Structures are given as C-alpha cells and as structure tokens.
Structure 1
Amino acid sequence: MGIMGYLRDRMGTILAIFIGFALLAFVAGEVIKSGSSIFKDNASEIGEINGSAVSYKEFNDRLDLSTAQFKQQSGQSISPQITSYLQETTWNQFLTDRLLGKEIEKLGITVGDAETQNMVSGANPDPQIARQFTDPQTGQFDRSKLNQFLQYLQSPKADTAQLSSWRTFLTELIKDKKRQKYMALVGTGLYVNTLDAQDDYQAKNKLANFKYTVLDYASIPDSKVTLTDDDYSAYYNEHKSEFKNKQELRSFDYVSFNAAPSKEDSLGIKTQVDKLAADFKASTNDSLFVQINSETKTPITYLKKGQLEPKLDSVMFSAAPGFVYGPYLSGTNYKIAKLISARVEPDSVKARHILLNPATEGGIDKAIAKADSIKKLIIGGKSFADLANSFSTDKAANQKGGDLGTFARGTMIPAFDDIIFAAKKGDIKIFTTQFGVHLVEILNETGSSKVVKVAQVDKLLEATQKTQNEVYNKAQAFLGTLTKDNFEAQAKKAGLVVKKADDVNGTAAVLPGLDNARALIKWAFKAEKGDFSEEVYPIGDQYVIGSLTQIKPIGYLSLDAVKKQIEPAVRVIAKGKQLAEKLQTALNGASSIDQAAQKAGSKVVPVQNVVFANPVIPASGPEYKVIGAIFGAQPNKLSKPIAGAQGVYIYTLDSFVNPAALTNAIREKQTLGQALTQRADGQVLEALKDKANVKDNRAKFL
C-alpha cells in the first residue's frame, strides 16, 4: 500500500483502490498489525454452524478487519456499543457464509474463468470494481484507470501484499456472484398469477362504508379482572410458537453507587485549571505546553469554521491571535483554548508528489539534497511522472504519475496539510514528515476560507481517590449484607434504587445508564438464579452489584418464564370476554346498531372509504380482525361482537364501492413480483437459520 494512501487512512478517509471485507487486509494492514486479539489463545471454538466449527482465530481475524474498516470509514473511536454491533454483524457474516455456501455447493453453482474475467474487465465490470474507478468530477466509470491498475498488478513493481489482497478480493467477488446466482434461482421460482394480482388490486381499491360501536378495554379497571391459570394456559398454548427462544437470555437486578466527582473534587480541578490558563496565556511554546499539560494531545492544526466545537467556533474566528478562552466545562473535561494564528487558505488543493525514504537515502540530509536535485530537474522540464516512477516510494501514487488528486484539508496528516495549504499554485515544496521527505508540486487551488490554528489543553474532571474509596467502601458494605434471595429487601433498607436488566443476551455490552457493562453481563451468564455478584464491578463512574433473577434457555420457553410477559395480553382477553357479553346482551332484541349502542352505553361512529390493504379505523388505529370481518360481511346486518386491538366491536356494513375492473394485470403482477423477490433474500436466509443447528459460545469469551 502506498504511503500517501496510508496517510489518508490515518485521517479516517479510505483512498484504497477497492473497498469491502476481502481487501481490508490490504487497506487496513497497518491498523490490524497494531491490534490485539480479544480472545483467549487456548480457546478453540466460538461456535458451530451445521457441524462446521468457527474458530476463535478466524472469528477474531474477521472482527479485526471489520473493526479496522469501521474506523477508516467513520473516523470514530470504537465504543462498547460499536464493539457489540461489530461482533454481532461478524457472527451473522459467518452464518450467511456457511449456510448459503452449503446450499450453493449442493446445487453445483459455479463461476467460470470467462465470467470472472468479464466481472473484472468486461464491458460491464462488477459494481464493486466500477465504483473505485469512477471519476469523482464526472461520476463516470474510468476504464483507463482500471486498465492502468491491472497492468500494474502484472508488472514487476507490483507489491506482494497488494497481489495477495487482489487474489483474496477476487475470491470474495466470485463467492458473491455465486450468492447472486442462488438468489436469482430462488427469485425465478417465485410466481404471481392473475388471481393474485386481482386480489391485490381489490384489496387496495375496494372501499367499505360502515358503522361501528366499541367498548374499550380501558373501560374496565385492571383491578376488576381476576386472571386464572386456565386463562394463562389457553393464551400460552395458542401462541406457543411465539415463545421460541433463539438464544439464551438472562435477567438481573442491579444497584449502583455513584462515584462521580464531588463538589470538592470539581473545585480542586477548577483551581488547577485556572492556574494552567494563566500559564497558557503567557506561554511562548504552545505545542510543548499542550504536550506537557493536556490529557488529550489534540493536534494543533488549521481548522475551518464548523470544525471546532460550538463554544470555540463562535469566538475564535473573530478573535485576535493570543486570545485565550476558558476554562470551560465540556462534557467531563475542563478545557482551555488559545488562538495561535489565523489565515485565509484554499478549500482544496490539487497536487502531485515524490516521496523519498531517508533510511535508504543515507539520512534526512541526503534525502533533502536528492529532493533538491529532483526539483531542479522538474524546473528544467523533466517529466514529473517519470521522476516519480524512478525515485518515489509511494507506489500507489506512482500509478498516476505521483498525482494525489484534489483533496481538502483534513485528508492528509496535519504536518502535510499545513505546508501544502499555505503554498501557492505552481510552488514546489520540500519538507519532512514522519513518513519521509516529500517533494510536492501544487497544481491547482480551489476556493478560499478563513482558518484558525487553536491549541487546546484539557483536564479530566474525575473523582479523587478519596471519593472513589469512600463510595467503593459503601458498595462493599452493602455486598456484605447480602444472602441468597434478600437482594431487593436489602436494597430497599439501604435506600437504593433497584434497576432491572431484562432479557439480556450473552454478547450485550451496554445497559441503561451503564455504557460498558460487559464484566457484569459475563458474571450474569455464569451465575445461577438467585445469586448475587460476589464482587463490586466498577463501570464508568459507578460501582455496581447485581442479582440474577431469571434464565431463559434456548428453545420453547415455559409458561412460568413468559407469564409476566403475556399478562397484559391475557388481561385484555379476559376484559374482552366481559365486554363481549355486555355487547351480546345489548344485541338481544336490537334491530339496529343505534339501538345496540344505546343499550351498551356507547356511541355509533360512521366510517367511509376504508380499504382492506390499510385496515385502520380513523381515530382508533389498526384493527385487522375487525376490518377483515367487515370485508367478508353482508350489508345491513348486525355483526356479533369482535375482539379487536382497542376493544370489542359490533358493526354493520352499509355498502361496498367496487373499483373499475382490472383489465390488464401485467403491471400489478410485476409490482407484486418485485416485492416478493425483495423479501425473498432475507426470508431465505431466515429460513436457513431456523433449520440450522447453531451452537453459539460467544457469551463465554467476548
């Protein structure tokens, strides 16, 4: 990978030629090398999919790649929430690969050499390739750039890492093509006939006009309903398929002891920062001052309006150099900011460069001297592209004659930007960064904006050791009072709020109010029901103690396990029976819905122009059962009571308004077919997952 490409990667912008998981080993190589495995070296399997083991190493390798890709694409740090998300998506990638791979193999789906060649360099290259060779100015695919890259791969100059990554990418491209063929086979097997089209047309266009009256479930207080074991059992047996647990879930209660900074702590930090502010204002070496005194070593570089946090952005662009703002509180940090300088510079620069490696040139001085000699050759008319190919170590840029393209400030590292954006069109600059000696020619500049260079010093507002010790001792004292099953009583006695974490999965990392609760969740998945944590868990500025309340294993959950969950629905059914009896009594002897409503103490509501495809009663909400029954009713007949979503209804149909006859069903069939095909991709995978024998051991090791 070229050094300038790496510079861009470090700034959070991907300039590699290809994206996607397969090429991440190439794009993010340096990032991955610096990472470390989150798994134990002696572990062997994180899971199993239809008898095929998923090792910790292969899972971790793919997770590292996904993490590196996320860093590059987003520029964000990896929070516990993001880690949890990446772990889940990585596991789902393995599921997809193994499950679809097995089906593809059974069907004998292949991609031939000619087809592969066509995907790479044919008349219509694969979109993943075409996107990377699209001219950003025109938005058009640039075949010459693709051909140039393919020729480079075949040349002796080709980097071995790039060649390896290219082969890996092709392997993934072929796998993806096989998946597309498999899904196309599934889609081809789907068929929408004329009757389907007619039904869909009627559902969307046939209108129903009716009157209804309803007795709301809310009209009966919960205290007036007594639920029996038979009520629960009947509901459970009817809905048992909904209670199939695909992964083990655990619920636990927890209490937390707040170890946030006290007023005394805050005052102490503020006193320190006030003194720092005075010293910062008097400082003549702001960069050194930041390095020595700041918690966060923020690079001191020029920034455009909008790139500073709002408090600074509103003052720094109208202040004079030397102005100091703060101390002010930003999140959990006290900050001081000093305006070093301001200037007007271009919004973007087009440049080309030659990069020399001091280690192979005999030192920095000799590398600079060589750059001076090359500069003289360029001024004398020698081809920049030829000189770049002969001398530059940036192989990626050399494919384009050393051209870096047009880039905005922030694309490169600050040391590079500060020199390039201060230069003028036509300048040739020689300078040194941590990546070597650069010779850069400014080809063009676009736009202009005021930029400011602001140095920032921050101090974390954190609790002192004294405060932390006091709170920790309180947590330990509470822990000492616990025995099995007395957690809630002791918490109440201590005046603590018991918080609940219900149905937590084994790979979760975050709980309400706790951003990194992984250690507590790992404990919960090793504990038994009724156990309390045997240690105090420090999470953020809280000390936390938990008590396991429920375990929901994989498979069909028992009635006891879901009883609390289904109680509201069971109560609605019980209320519905009472309301249905009331309405049935009102119907006896009634010749119209108005008479029945009057006897029931309710009102009649007329409704116009409801369609079956949108089963919503205005001012009430979705009522699938009621609208479904209405579209199967005869006009001018009183219905029996129907338990809906909001209450129990009776209705009378006034009339249907039929649409014009559907004379050409082709368009309707096409629309339905497209919707069916779009759903099929996800539904096929879900069906394969349901059938699969999957063992997921992630909760034990993540």
Structure 2
Amino acid sequence: MGIMSYLRDRMGKILAVVIGLALLAFVAGEVIHTGSSFLRGDATTVAEVNGEKIDYKDFSQRIETSTEQFKQQYNQPLTPQVTDYIQSTTWNQLLTGILLKKEIERLGLVVGDAETASMITGNNPDQQIQSQFMDESGKFDKAKLNQFLTYINSGKVPAAEFERWGQFVKNVIDSKRQQKYVALVSNGLYVNSLEAQDDYTDKNKLANFKYTVLDYASIPDNKITLTDDDYNTYYNEHKGLFKNPEETRSFDYVSFNAAPSKQDSAAIKDQVEKLAASFKASTNDSLFVQINAETKAPLVFAKKGQLEPKLDSVMFTAEKGAIYGPYLAGGKYKIAKLIDSKVGPDSVKARHILLNPATEGGMDKAVAKADSLKKLIQGGKSFDELAKTYSIDKNSAVKGGDLGTFGRGAMIPAFEDAAFDGKAGDLVVVKSQYGVHLLNIESQKGSSKVVKVAVVDKSLAPSSETQNAVYAKAQQFLSTANSENFAAQAKKAGLTVKSSDDVTGVASSLIGLDNARPVVKWAFGADKGAVSDQVFAVGDQYIVARLSNIKPQGALPLDAVKKQIAPAVLVDVKGKQLAEKFQAALSGATSIDQVAQKAGSKVVPVQNIVFANPVIPGSSAEFKLVGSIFGSQPNKLSAPVKGQSGVYVYVVESFANPAALTNTVREKQQLSQALAQRTPGSVLDALKDKANVKDNRAKFL
C-alpha cells in the first residue's frame, strides 16, 4: 500500500517525465531520419546575402521567367550550356539587386511620383519603356505607348496582364534607383591634372633600346626537378592570387560508351524501311506522321532553302507522292513524302482580330462573332477600331491588328495556309489553337515554288541489350575501384582517366560531359578521395567518378593549388637559372654585345616603344621588361629581368619625350569616360567582395 500511495501522489510528475522523454525521443528520431532544419539549416533557403534569405521557390520562379524570356527571344533549344548561362545570369541579377537595394535604402535614394510619370509618359520615356513600343523601323513610337496606356487604364485588362505591367514598371523604377546610386558614386570620382599628364606621357613618350634574351624554352622541362622549397617560394610570393571566390571541386572519371552499336543502327533503319510502304499508301499523311514520327512537325509549305539539304535537293523536282529514304540526318533515320507542290507568294502583309472561344461561349459562337465583324468591315466599319475593341491579341490590337510582313514558317500552320492561299483584300475566318482569327490579307509579294513534305523519323538509340552490356561493365569497374586503386583499375580495364577540374556547385555541363548535374551534385556531397556510390548515366555514357580535390572558398592552401601552379613554378625555377647565367655574363661586361656573346644569345634593337603598349615586336606583351625600361637611365646595363617569354638584359639608348601638354582638358575627359565605364562593374565587385554570402545553390539545382 505504501508503494501504491507513493505512485498516486507522484503520478502527475511521473507522467510528465515519461511524456517528455517520449517526445524527446520522437523529435530526436525525426532529426536523425530527416535531418532537422534547426540542425542542417533552412531546407528552403537557397542562399543568404547579408542576413537576407533567398527562398528556393522564389529563385526557381525567377529562373523559370528567365528561361521563358530566353525561349521567346532566341527560339533556341535549352542545352545544358544555355541552362548554365540562364541560372548564372539570374543569380547575378538577384545578388546585384539585393546588394544595391541595401545601399540605396541606406542612402535614402528614391524615385518620386513625378519622376516615375516622366519615365513612362514624358517626352523622353525610360529606355526600357521605349524598347517595348517600337515601329517597324525600330524607332520608339509614342502613339503605340499612348494606345497601350489607354488600354491599361480602361479597367478591362485581365488581372494577370495588369500585374505583369505593374511588375515591369516596378523593375523600371528599381533600375532608375540603381542608376542614381551608380551616378552618385561616379560623380564622386575625379581625374586631376597630374593623372592626365602621366597618361599623356605613358601614351606618347618613346623608348629606344637593345635587349638580349634567354628563352625559358632553352631549358628542357625534363632537366628541372621541382622541390618543395620551389613550390613554397612561389606560393608565398604570389599568395594574394590564390583566393577562391567560391568553393570548387575536381574529380577524375572513366566513361563507358553506350552509343548505338552497328546492330542497333541497322535495326532502326529496318524499322523505318518497313514504314515506307505504308507511308506511300497513306491517305492521311498528317495522322501518319503524328502516329509514327518522333518529331510531330506540322505539315506546311516550304520554299527552296527551308528544307534540310538532302530533301531540298530532291523534293522540288519530285512527283507528288514520291518517297525519299531512309536517310540518316541529325542522328536519326528518316523517310520523307512529297504531299503537294505549288507556286505561291513569298511573303504576306496581314492584320487580324483574335477572339477567345472560352469567353465567347464556345467555338461556334466565336466563329459567328467573327462573321459578324467581317460583315461590319465589309459594310464600311474600321478594321483598326474593331481590332482595338475586340481582339485579345493586345500586342497587335494597339496597332489596329497589324502583324506586319511575314514569310513562310513564321505563323502557325492554319493561319499561314489561309494567309498564303488567299489573295490581297480577302477577309478570312480561321480557327487555330489560339482561338478564332478574322484575317485580313493586305498584300502579297513575290512568287516561287513551294512544297509540302511529311517526314517520319526515328532516333538512333542504343538497344536495351547494348545499354545493359555497357552498364554491366561500368558496374564491374565500380565494384573493384576504390580511392587508392582507381587509376590502376582503369589502366587494367583499358580505360582513360579523364578529369574535370575546379567545377562549381551549380554547373550543369562540363567539357566532354553534357547533362552532368547528377555527377556534380554527388561531388559536392562527397569527401575527398571518395569513389561515386553509383554509375551515372550522362548522355550516351556511363560514368564512374572519384573526387580528387576540394578547394574551399577563400584563401587556398598550397596543397589545393600545387597542381595548378606547377607550370608557373617550373618557369620560375628556369628564370632563376637563366638569371644566374646572365648575372655571370654581366660580370666585367661593359656593353650589351659583350653580355650576349658570353651568354650565347643575340642582341635585338627596338625602336619607339611606349609604356602604354608594352608589346615587343616579334614577341608578346612584356610588362615587367617595358616597365623596367621606362624606369631606367640611358646607357646603363640592366640587371636580369624575368619576363613573359624569358629572362632579359637590356640597355636604354634614348628616350624621346612628347611635346609639352599645355591643356589637360581633353586627357582628363578621356580618363573620366574610361573611369565612368568601369565604375558600375567595380562598384558591384566591391559590394560582392564585402558581402557575407552563403550560397547553397549546389543542393537545390
């Protein structure tokens, strides 16, 4: 009873302790299992700049926007290199914006309402505004801007479009604030008369001299054995050069080629050949292409030069229904069929009114409305005014529906067929994936033969048997390779070990490796010396990698740069030996000719070298040599100078001073302009160098 009484009295405390321990165990388990954010950092923070967190969702949305802009502007495929460029540009823009924003707010720089209005509606709008409203000649069209502003203020603008315009204006204002900040810094810079005088002298003072040189190449590399002291000496003399702006990693790898075999190629060709008879008999070529082709290209008319070369030389003289192929092009086997040929215009000038079936109550009602608008125009109503009122294509609506002049291939197939098949003056109702168009053909120019060609293609791809066989080889190598024997195992297997050095954490493609993101992500999560825990599929290769080096951000130790500086250390050691040889030749010598004779070199005369352009005729830029020359006295043998190509000894014969500079205004203006051009980049570099940036992009991208 005593024990039961004791438990009853203290049950509350006991339960609290038990529950507390259970909760602690649960939380600890979750931490171990998932990696809690309070131990591993915020799982959604892609970077932190001076304490300001950048959320991955926001960053990824910016990348998506930049990607869409790139697609619209350049119409190019998104290769790994392009992806790298977009991600890097987006990051730099975001980082620049954050750094400048803090400085701008600290200084209290603003863009007032009146200034904003002037930037948008003034006599000379901001350049970003002007670039959006150009006429056909590429000049700013104020009327187009005013029409668009009337539309924006009409209250009939879709919310998404209104929001995009608001964001655009905000970006213009932010850009103006940044311009003010840079201008503020630039206006604080000054070029004085002494600087102008020095610059004038550097560009116009002439030096005439003779030199003799012992080239570094005169000592074979295999005659030099580099020591630890050699490396330490060079490293300590150039320590300031070894500051890593961001962490990089290097890895060695072997690749197993899984490209299609001859048997795979023959099998694909056989597949395409079997389709040829069915293709020739097909009565619905568009459907046949959609079912059988990998590239679902629409069937459109093309003029000479618009088809791929093999077809361009065949189809313009072939009979309707002719089959060409199979032929190999662009890594694919293809067969082509001539659907039709005719003579038609080269270009069309047109305008349209675009209606949205979803808001008109369906396709039938949209077509009926287009017919009604057609009758109104035929009855004398203005096409321009109806386009501004009814067209959902606002880019052309503000121009009265004008689409300009376009050639074949510029428009979607249904619209293009109507524009090129009709005649000038026609009003045609056309249905497309964008809605219902009321098309007005204003004029047509040129005349040439065009053909409509259907193409069925099959990519050359490795068979599963080929892939499995190559993958098995890669797996076998992975099972035997480790940090110590990686190179030996590669040699045993007849494989070449390749290297990717100084890879950044956000790299998507590397030399020889496209779509290498999985390998890079592994490298930034591995320890030095580790061999990859899997075989990576990169394009048509299987990759096994070994992490060879890690270079942290900041000052790098000698071990991290030893491989990198080896060529420079070799030159440095050669330079010391050649300098000693020249030093011995200088002993007792009274002329440059005597020095050259003793050293076994020759004397080269040089005329009219200026300090600002230190290029030696027949050689390269020699900054140390020319700098030393302009600091020397005439007719005095120099000490040995280690230059870019070798070790030099020289003697200055004379200097020719330029005419006295009586007016420094022009020189100061030139220097000020050059300084102003460098200022924006220099300001940003200084802000980035000073900033505390925690970059976690390698974990997310």
Shared fold (TM-score, shorter chain, > 0.5): yes
1:333-378 deviations in Å (ceiling 9; x for gaps): 1112222223343343222323334445554444434433432332
Offset of residue 414 of structure 1: 1.7
Deviates more, 1:527-536 or 1:351-360: 351-360
Offset of residue 701 of structure 1: 1.4
Gapped runs of 5+ residues in structure 1?
1-41
What is the CA–CA distance in structure 2 between the aligned matches of 1:83 and 1:509, rounded to whole Å? 7
Partner of 1:56: 56
Matched residue type, 2:350: A
**For the structure 1 residues 395 and 511, does the alpha-carbon distance in structure 2 shift closer, same or farther, using more than 3 Å as the test?**
closer
Partner of 1:215: 214
Gapped runs of 5+ residues in structure 2?
1-41
**For the structure 1 residues 424 and 613, does the alpha-carbon distance in structure 2 shift closer, same or farther, using more than 3 Å as the test?**
same
What is the CA–CA distance in structure 2 between the aligned matches of 1:518 and 1:301, rounded to whole Å? 38
Partner of 2:132: 132
1:74-124 deviations in Å (ceiling 9; x for gaps): 112222221122111111112101111111111111111100000001111
Offset of residue 632 of structure 1: 1.5
**For the structure 1 residues 318 and 249, does the alpha-carbon distance in structure 2 shift closer, same or farther, using more than 3 Å as the test?**
same
SS at match of 1:589: coil
Q: Are the aligned partners of 2:483 and 2:546 in contact in 1 as well (CA < 8 Å)?
A: no
Matched residue type, 1:508: A
Partner of 1:258: 257
Offset of residue 395 of structure 1: 4.5
Partner of 1:408: 407
**For the structure 1 residues 211 and 295, does the alpha-carbon distance in structure 2 shift closer, same or farther, using more than 3 Å as the test?**
same
SS at match of 2:306: coil
Q: Are the aligned partners of 1:485 and 1:531 in contact in 2 as well (CA < 8 Å)?
A: no
What is the CA–CA distance in structure 1 between the aligned matches of 2:394 and 2:202, rounded to whole Å? 62
What is the CA–CA distance in structure 2 between the aligned matches of 1:567 and 1:391, rounded to whole Å? 71
Matched residue type, 1:672: L
What is the CA–CA distance in structure 2 between the aligned matches of 1:184 and 1:279, rounded to whole Å? 70
1:37-79 deviations in Å (ceiling 9; x for gaps): xxxxx93100000111111011011111001101111112222
Matched residue type, 2:188: G
Matched residue type, 2:624: K
Partner of 1:515: 514
Q: Indicate yes or no: 2:116 matched with 1:116.
A: yes
1:239-294 deviations in Å (ceiling 9; x for gaps): 11111112111111111111111111111111122222333233332111111111
Q: Indicate yes or no: 2:109 matched with 1:86.
A: no
**For the structure 1 residues 425 and 234, does the alpha-carbon distance in structure 2 shift closer, same or farther, using more than 3 Å as the test?**
same
Partner of 1:191: 190
Q: Are the aligned partners of 1:209 and 1:607 in contact in 2 as well (CA < 8 Å)?
A: yes
Partner of 2:700: 701
Question: Scaled by the length of structure 1, what TM-score is found?
Answer: 0.91
What is the CA–CA distance in structure 2 between the aligned matches of 1:691 and 1:187, rounded to whole Å? 19
**For the structure 1 residues 624 and 652, does the alpha-carbon distance in structure 2 shift closer, same or farther, using more than 3 Å as the test?**
same
Matches within 5 A, 1:164-203: 164-203=163-202
Question: Scaled by the length of structure 2, what TM-score is found?
Answer: 0.91
Partner of 2:148: 149
Matches within 5 A, 1:598-637: 598-637=597-636
SS at match of 1:545: strand
SS at match of 2:311: helix
**For the structure 1 residues 540 and 54, does the alpha-carbon distance in structure 2 shift closer, same or farther, using more than 3 Å as the test?**
same
What is the CA–CA distance in structure 2 between the aligned matches of 1:387 and 1:561, rounded to whole Å? 70
Offset of residue 389 of structure 1: 5.2
**For the structure 1 residues 567 and 386, does the alpha-carbon distance in structure 2 shift closer, same or farther, using more than 3 Å as the test?**
closer
1:452-511 deviations in Å (ceiling 9; x for gaps): 222111101111111111111111111111233211111111111111111111111112
Partner of 2:546: 547
Deviates more, 1:308-317 or 1:590-599: 308-317
Q: Are the aligned partners of 1:286 and 1:455 in contact in 2 as well (CA < 8 Å)?
A: yes
Q: Are the aligned partners of 1:250 and 1:552 in contact in 2 as well (CA < 8 Å)?
A: yes
SS at match of 1:404: strand
Q: Are the aligned partners of 1:523 and 1:533 in contact in 2 as well (CA < 8 Å)?
A: yes
Q: CA RMSD in A?
A: 1.8
Matched residue type, 2:64: D
Matches within 5 A, 1:527-606: 527-606=526-605
What is the CA–CA distance in structure 1 between the aligned matches of 2:272 and 2:294, rounded to whole Å? 12
**For the structure 1 residues 93 and 361, does the alpha-carbon distance in structure 2 shift closer, same or farther, using more than 3 Å as the test?**
closer
Partner of 2:487: 488
Pair member with larger Rg: 2
What is the CA–CA distance in structure 2 between the aligned matches of 1:345 and 1:62, rounded to whole Å? 44
**For the structure 1 residues 390 and 658, does the alpha-carbon distance in structure 2 shift closer, same or farther, using more than 3 Å as the test?**
closer
Deviates more, 1:116-125 or 1:309-318: 309-318
Matched residue type, 1:493: K
Deviates more, 1:356-365 or 1:651-660: 356-365
Q: Are the aligned partners of 2:45 and 2:53 in contact in 1 as well (CA < 8 Å)?
A: yes
Offset of residue 432 of structure 1: 1.5
Partner of 2:235: 236
Partner of 1:17: none
SS at match of 2:267: helix
1:589-635 deviations in Å (ceiling 9; x for gaps): 22211111111111111111111111011112111111111112222
Matched residue type, 1:209: N
Deviates more, 1:443-452 or 1:516-525: 443-452
Deviates more, 1:302-311 or 1:615-624: 302-311
Matched residue type, 2:141: D
User: Identity rate of aligned residues, in percent?
Assistant: 66
Q: Are the aligned partners of 2:414 and 2:430 in contact in 1 as well (CA < 8 Å)?
A: no
Partner of 1:650: 649
**For the structure 1 residues 257 and 343, does the alpha-carbon distance in structure 2 shift closer, same or farther, using more than 3 Å as the test?**
same
Q: Are the aligned partners of 1:260 and 1:542 in contact in 2 as well (CA < 8 Å)?
A: yes
Partner of 1:227: 226
Offset of residue 206 of structure 1: 1.5
Matched residue type, 2:598: K
